[in-house]
Amino acid sequence: MYHKSKILTGLAVFIIFMTYPFWNNIGSAAYVRPELEKVKKAKECVESVEFMRAEHMSMLNEWRDEVVRDASHEYHSTVNNSVYQKSLTKTCMDCHENKDKFCDKCHDSVAVDPYCWDCHVDPKGVQK
Ligand code: HEC
Ligand code: HEC
Ligand code: HEC
């Protein structure tokens, strides 16, 4: 019985020691998004930033389908009153001028490499 407190102390020290890397990481272990080039010509994206982060891939797919299948070219934003042309090159890349410092920088950090640029032109970019 008289070893009990020593055992408990030992156990506590052991637990703290084993979990130290975890405690020490709080606040720094979160996913770090790379620094992306800011848009100069507008304050807002076609939708909210949160929405765009999560949904831009499906939005582009929908835009393509609607343009190609339905000849529907106008996108009405739900966050502002603007109407945008459903176009990767003429719309997205008009504001996000530098593909390398915006799209690619983020994609590289998560190892995705959209094949869109096989056909679509990166208007101002340096071709790789
Ligand atoms: C009218 C200008 C404009 C257009 C057009 C535009 N964006 Fe944006 N976008 C912005 C602005 C402003 C932000 C907010 C961040 C900033 O200031 O750079 C943003 C943010 C984003 C983000 C989030 C970035 C982050 O900080 O995590 C993504 C992703 C994005 N846009 C993708 C797109 C795509 C894809 C298209 C085309 C479907 C598009 N944008 C069209 C202006 C635009
Ligand atoms: C804030 C980070 C971020 C930015 C900025 C960003 N993307 Fe993405 N993008 C992603 C992520 C993450 C994925 C992968 C999503 C998945 O696999 O579910 C992705 C996937 C895509 C896909 C689908 C690729 C595939 O193979 O499925 C396309 C198309 C795309 N992005 C286009 C763009 C374009 C164009 C821009 C610049 C205007 C852009 N993205 C900017 C994070 C970003
Ligand atoms: C094999 C060639 C090819 C590839 C790869 C390709 N596209 Fe396209 N895309 C086209 C063609 C052709 C059109 C029709 C152009 C038109 O009608 O103006 C088009 C139209 C579009 C449109 C609507 C019109 C516009 O100006 O943007 C969007 C949006 C689009 N594609 C997005 C994408 C995205 C996102 C990817 C990558 C995930 C992609 N495309 C990959 C050939 C391609």
Query: In this structure, which residue's CA is closest to atom 32 in ligand 3?
Result: 64
The whole-angstrom separation of Cα 5 and Cα 15 is 15
Please tell me if the CB atom of residue 39 comes closer than 6 angstroms to any atom of ligand 1.
yes
Query: Counting atoms of ligand 3 from 1, which one is nearest the CA of 115?
Result: 37
Query: In this structure, which residue's CA is closest to atom 40 in ligand 3?
Result: 116
Over residues 44-67, the pLDDT tens digits come to: 999 999 999 999 999 999 999 999
Separation of first and last alpha carbons in the chain: 72
Query: In this structure, which residue's CA is closest to atom 28 in ligand 3?
Result: 64
User: With 90 as the cut, is the pLDDT of residue 110 above it?
Assistant: yes
Instruction: Give me the amino acid identity at 6.
Output: K
Long-range Cβ contacts of 97-102 (<8 Å, 24+ apart): 97/37, 97/40, 97/123, 97/124, 98/37, 98/124, 98/125, 99/125, 100/125, 100/126, 101/36, 101/37, 102/36, 102/37
Please tell me if the CB atom of residue 44 comes closer than 6 angstroms to any atom of ligand 1.
yes
Least confident of 2-6, 32-36, 63-67, 104-108: 2-6
Q: How far is the CA of 40 from the centre of ligand 3 (A)?
A: 25
Share of the chain above pLDDT 90, in %: 68
Over residues 8-50, the pLDDT tens digits come to: 677 666 666 666 555 454 444 445 678 999 999 999 999 999 9
